[in-house]
Amino acid sequence: MQVKTGEVSPEQALEKLPKAFTDLAYAKVDHHRSLRQGTGEVIYGQGKTPEQIAGILSNMKEHGSANVLVTRISQETANFLLDKKIPLDYHPIPKLGIAMTDNSIERTGNIVIAAAGTSDMAVCEEAALTAETLGNNVTRLYDVGVAGLHRLLSNLEILEQARVIVSVAGMEGALASVIGGLVSCPVIAVPTSVGYGANFGGLSALLTMLNSCASGVSVVNIDNGFGAGFLASRINKMKG
């Protein structure tokens, strides 16, 4: 506003902004992510050492970050972070941690996470916890796959009240098409690597979802619960 009124020049305003990123040599921590995108940086933990994750989180903590998602980390890594006095809520099923938790965040809207089978729960929980951490109300529907269609239809009212639905399935991945044909809201399909040999690590479910005949179905990558939860959050928070 001060730049708009001429009280402060753009150059002066830029100097007052916090540093855009911190260079830790092994990582460049983006402190302006929330200014550009509305949400802070998320740490993909797989492939990073516990020491690297601790360094990134410590730097983010110094800059006032809260509710930082750390995906795909082991219990051992979570224990290491806690030993380093980094506040962390760890969820072992999706192997996801939430650092510097701020429980005062206000949640809005209604996202439904629908899982074909209990074996898909790790991916579902990654999506659900991501969406909740980003400030969304989430309803979980587990084990409602097409092998027992009555289980899904008994929850039709819940599905119809959703602003966006995340449909998670392995095997042949048919659940997303069924849900897409029942509701008027956007459906985000998540193929999982759950299935026998010809599932090809989730490829069969991915191809089924990409070829869905139901309108309004989008698809994220195999086992990408985080991506689905993040996208669902953006859709849920759209105005209008």
Q: Are residues 64 and 94 in the same domain?
A: yes
Q: Among the three residues 79, 99, 119, which one is the final residue of a domain in this structure?
A: 99
pLDDT at residue 40, rounded to an integer = 80
Q: Is 164 helix (H, G, I), strand (E, B) or coil?
A: strand
Final residue before a domain boundary, out of 40, 67, 99: 99
Q: Domain boundary residue among 75, 99, 123?
A: 99
Contact between 159 and 114 (Cβ < 8 Å): yes
Question: 225-236 and 121-133 are packed helices; what angle lies between their axes, rounded to 10 degrees?
Answer: 40
User: pTM of the prediction?
Assistant: 0.88
40: in domain: yes
Q: How many whole angstroms separate alpha carbon 123 and alpha carbon 168?
A: 7
C-alpha span between 185 and 167 (Å, rounded): 12
Torsion of the alpha carbons at 54, 59, 61 and 67, rounded to the nearest 10: -70
Classify residue 127: in a domain, yes or no: yes
Element (H, E) at 225: helix 225-236
Residue 182 maps to a domain: yes
Same domain, 120 and 199: yes
Which two tokens mark 134?
């980003």
**Count: domains in the chain:** 2
170 and 137 belong to one structural domain: yes
Is there a contact between 95 and 71 (Cβ–Cβ < 8 Å)? yes
Q: Is residue 169 part of a domain?
A: yes
Domain that holds residue 195: 108-236
What count of Cα atoms within 13 Å lies in the side-chain half-sphere of residue 29? Answer: 21
CA angle 140, 238, 57 (to 5 degrees): 70
Looking at residue 1, what is its pLDDT? Answer: 62
DSSP character for 17?
Answer: S
Residues 50 and 165 in one domain: no
Instruction: For residues 91 and 121, state if they share a domain.
Output: no
- Per run of 10 residues, the mean pLDDT along the chain (length 240 residues) is 70 63 80 76 93 94 89 96 95 96 88 95 97 96 91 93 96 94 96 93 95 94 97 89
* Calpha distance 176→208 (Å, rounded): 9
